[in-house]
Amino acid sequence: MSKKKKKQQRAGKDAVVATNRRARHDFTILDTYECGVALVGTEVKSIREGKVSLADSFATIDRGEVWLQHLNIPEYSMGTWTNHSPRRNRKLLLHRREIDSLEGKVRDGKRTLIPLKLYFKDGRLKLELGLAEGKQAYDKRQDIKKRTEEREITRELGRRIKGINA
């Protein structure tokens, strides 16, 4: 089998498992990082079933290590007494220089680390972590207004291209 076909087969398995849709609404994402997640026991099987929620999760830096907190991975349905704890803190795997850089950026208290996307890459679970600042209510309103204006502009351009006068 050629390398191209193998990559195409693998691409089907390497899909996004979960996204944090509220993150981009509630926060301004300044930078993103790809990191691994240290998992135990039946957590991978449960994630492959699609039973994972990024809703209230966030990351903290403690003693030079990055920890993902409040990530909900329910117990594996076919598991026994070896099942994992659903809401335990999970260690995120990053390079030392990335951790030091993040620690400096988060230290002032205005920024936080938010998980954006959970996906498999080459059979390993990866997390897209975003360095974010919280949005105020007026920021959210401005974003909504800008989106609607852009939508109207593209709609009007589409009409003009098609020759429909409005």
Q: What is the DSSP string of 45-78?
A: HHHHTT--B-TT-EEEEETTEEEEES-B-PPPTT
Residue % of the chain over a pLDDT of 70: 88
Is position 2 within any domain?
no
The reported pLDDT for the residue numbered 129 is 93
Domain coverage including residue 86 = 7-135
The reported pLDDT for the residue numbered 142 is 85
Same domain, 90 and 140: no
Same domain, 121 and 140: no
The reported pLDDT for the residue numbered 42 is 83
Is position 156 within any domain?
yes
Which residues lie across from 125 on neighbouring strands? 120
